[in-house]
Amino acid sequence: MSVSVAGRLIPQASALSELGRLTLAFIDGGLEWLGWASANPAARYEFADETSLMASAQQGLHASALALLPHLQLLVSPVKLMTLGLADLRVLAQAEGGADSSVLAAQLRRVLSQHQLVTQTDLMAGSDWLAQSASASSPLFQVMSLQDRLAISALAVLPIEQEGVTDPAALQAEAATFAAEQARTPLEFADYYRFYLNRAIKIGLLGDSAEQRQSSAQRAMQTLLPLLFGTLDGPQVQALAAPADVALAVSNWQARGKQIGFARLSEAVQQIDRHSTYREQSGEAARRLVDAYLQSAQSFIAGHRVRRGRMGQDGASCAFLLEAGNQQAELRLGGDGVISLHGFGARPGPPSAAASAPQPSDSDLETAS
């Protein structure tokens, strides 16, 4: 009878780190399972680290990677919780335990925002926005994952602050209608929604009719989509890969002459329309523009090593931001272990001296390595 972590016996919860004990307590039945496993003569469990123990306990007990914190109305992977750091995890524990004060409420808001944790309230705001857009009845949304709902909730708070937009609600409704017609998944809906809005603003169609905006978006899609089938490949790593493992996979992939591609065609269209100089080019001119954008992105990635990342709420996906000067690229590690390009373009705001300096390890992924 034994539970071991990295070869060290764990006879009881007190043998775990405080971070591990707090995280295990968030898993319903987690502490009780550890007590049973430590005392059961037939039980034998070996884990590489505490993060693996948390992931296995959650999945084994509930057949789901996500733990429910009912008081906070939060679904989150225990793997993500392990990346918060002890101080912030204590804040969650106090709030989930029912403690209530103005100071704790402010701390909780900071923790949720800093670690990009989205509660049921935020997700419901996304659902309400979707219903108001008249797209909720689309068969696209009959079944949605956490990642899908996170993408929709992000659209609900997407600002439209652009000179010339006289009726933001009407433009949003146009974009939602267009996206629902083009998409086959909720994530594609989010891509095409952003694409439509960006297209209208970028090409200066805000004073034109809805038909003209839709026609421009359709032409851009028909031009770009056939040029992007070769941009859907990327390296793959095992689950819970550390930043160093991701960096090595990216380096090896590019050394073989391969490009870090996008996760899906709709994202490729949206990102290239947003970040490249594409406007209304077609034919060979469009092809050259797309190739130049992708080559620039690959060169930037090759010259800036992955050093830190932010784990997603699902405990499986991660985002890695590479910055230098006035440019940035974002790589995404999906739950399937595939690394993809999420975007490459100008950084928002003026460049900082820290952007080109060596980046220290980020606590978001150190624990999950």
Q: Do 350 and 244 have their domain in common?
A: yes
Q: Do 235 and 211 have their domain in common?
A: no
Q: Write out residues in the chain with pLDDT < 70, as ranges.
A: 1, 161-164, 349-369
Give the total number of structural domains in the chain. 3
Residue 363's pLDDT is what? 36
Q: Do 242 and 277 have their domain in common?
A: yes
Q: Do 146 and 200 have their domain in common?
A: yes
The answer to whether 54 and 10 are in contact (CB under 8 A) is no
Residue 349's pLDDT is what? 64
Dihedral pair phi/psi, residue 363, rounded to 5°? -65, -20
Euclidean distance between CA atoms 356 and 297, whole angstroms: 17
Number of helices (H) and strands (E) in the chain: give both, helices first: 15, 9
Q: Do 104 and 124 have their domain in common?
A: no
Q: Do 220 and 240 have their domain in common?
A: no
Q: Do 342 and 291 have their domain in common?
A: yes
Q: Do 105 and 136 have their domain in common?
A: no
* Cα–Cα separations (whole angstroms), residue 314 to 69, 108, 170, 182, 335: 14, 19, 33, 27, 8
Question: What range does the domain containing 186 cover?
Answer: 118-227
Residue 195's pLDDT is what? 97
Residue 203's pLDDT is what? 83
What strands lie across the sheet with 8-9, from one edge to the other?
8-9, 2-5, 44-47
The answer to whether 164 and 207 are in contact (CB under 8 A) is yes
Last residue of a domain, one of 171, 200, 227: 227
Closest C-alpha to 5, from 32, 37, 29, 36: 37
Euclidean distance between CA atoms 38 and 44, whole angstroms: 8
The answer to whether 178 and 196 are in contact (CB under 8 A) is yes
Q: Do 323 and 348 have their domain in common?
A: yes
Q: Do 152 and 165 have their domain in common?
A: yes
Q: Do 208 and 83 have their domain in common?
A: no
Please, what sign has the CA dihedral across residues 291, 294, 297, 302? Answer: negative
CB atoms within 10 A of CB 235: 21
Euclidean distance between CA atoms 18 and 214, whole angstroms: 55
Euclidean distance between CA atoms 334 and 316, whole angstroms: 7
Last residue of a domain, one of 97, 117, 137: 117
Last residue of a domain, one of 227, 250, 271: 227
Q: Do 143 and 219 have their domain in common?
A: yes
Euclidean distance between CA atoms 282 and 219, whole angstroms: 9
Q: Going by DSSP bridges, is the β-strand pair 2-5/44-47 parallel, antiparallel, or unpaired?
A: parallel
Closest C-alpha to 322, from 338, 295, 344, 350: 344
